[in-house]
Amino acid sequence: MQNLLITGGCGFIGSNFVRFMLGRDDFTGRIINVDCLTYAANPKSLTDIENDFPDRYVFIRADICDGPQMAEIFDRYGVDAICHFAAESHVDRSIVDPGAFIQTNIVGTFNLLELARFHPDRLTLFHHVSTDEVFGSLSAEGYFTETTAYRPNSPYAASKAASDHLVRAYHKTYGLPITISNCSNNYGPYQFPEKLIPLIILNALEGKALPVYGDGKNVRDWLYVTDHCDAIWKIMRDGQRGATYNIGGNTEKPNIEVVETICDILDETAADKDIGPRRELIDFVTDRPGHDRRYAIDATKLKRELGWVPAESFETGIRNTIAWYLDNMQWVQRVQSGEYQTWIKQHYG
């Protein structure tokens, strides 16, 4: 893996993965980061990486749905491995505009698979990053495993399920060397503020309402983003080709408990007498359509085969996350104001 193509590398998980990889001793290759820079992508999150690794990091603004453009990049940089993050990923947006999810998540994945298929002599791995949402909803008991049937309940989840099936089919049909990972909810530095944890942190700091869907008892497993990056690299390096691995944080929490924990930590670390106790800002709002009740990941296979376990508990991870946002309010301001989008237009057209 000397020329690793990372798609969606300016997004939340992708940018963390770029940092993770270039900080490792067991990866000495070059990263080619391709991102079309939609609203949630921020290349300024990697400015320091661009400066620190001029010979090992390349950023190209490109759309994975543009087959000829991706083919040119693939050949120009001698791509020999792909880690595919690029996706539309926000469930609420998929309900309003499902077409964008079909295009990026399905057609974009297909284009990359076709490139890989026609370079069998060069491509060593196609790793596809997916989600536990493809499995649908769990009752109060049980866990998602690698053999759980797919039952997606939102356009986002359905588009990711389709892309998973395509990747697996290209392995079975064409012998493409692939691995797939299905992860639980990620959180940590550089996450776009539309997601639950950064939204609650930033609203609570400003004394704004803290919206919680339904009764707040929807359960998610929370995975700190650097733990996710570590798991992906273990799978890419040592995982069985053709195999799927679930990645979870072993931290099931109802949404309301997550929100209350953030309120309590901020009351402790960033008290504001004008705001008062932040739990009083919680506002239960109408539930979204098709809102899955519970997700829970069984990551036993990943632990058994590759020795991976998460390094962060929810308690340590959420404190790290809150501290990062408090220490990086300039980044937050640029994202909330849209300043980064103006910068993108000036530099990339």
Bridge partners (DSSP) listed for residue 224: 187
Token pair for residue 291? 């809102």
Confirm if 159 and 143 have CB atoms less than 8 A apart.
no
The catalytic position among 143, 156, 190, 245 is 156
Confirm if 196 and 288 have CB atoms less than 8 A apart.
no
**Exposure string over 220-259, b if 16+ CB within 10 A, otherwise e:** bbbbbbbbbbbbbbbbbeebeeebbbbbbbbbbbbbbebb
Specify whether 156 is catalytic. yes
The catalytic position among 63, 80, 88, 133 is 133
Instruction: Please report where in the chains the tokens 């997700």 appear, as a residue.
Output: 295
| Strand ranges in the chain using DSSP code E only, listed in sequence order | 3-7, 30-35, 57-61, 81-84, 125-131, 178-183, 185-187, 210-213, 219-224, 244-247, 252-254, 282-285
Count the neighbouring beta carbons within 10 Å of the beta carbon of residue 123.
Answer: 20
The catalytic position among 63, 88, 132, 260 is 132
Confirm if 143 and 250 have CB atoms less than 8 A apart.
no
Helices (H), 213-283: 225-238, 255-269
Specify whether 260 is catalytic. no
Confirm if 85 and 7 have CB atoms less than 8 A apart.
yes
H or E element in which residue 205 lies:
helix 196-206
Backbone angles phi, psi at 50, to 5 degrees: -60, -40
Specify whether 224 is catalytic. no
Count the neighbouring beta carbons within 10 Å of the beta carbon of residue 276.
Answer: 12
Catalytically active residues, by annotation: 132-133, 156
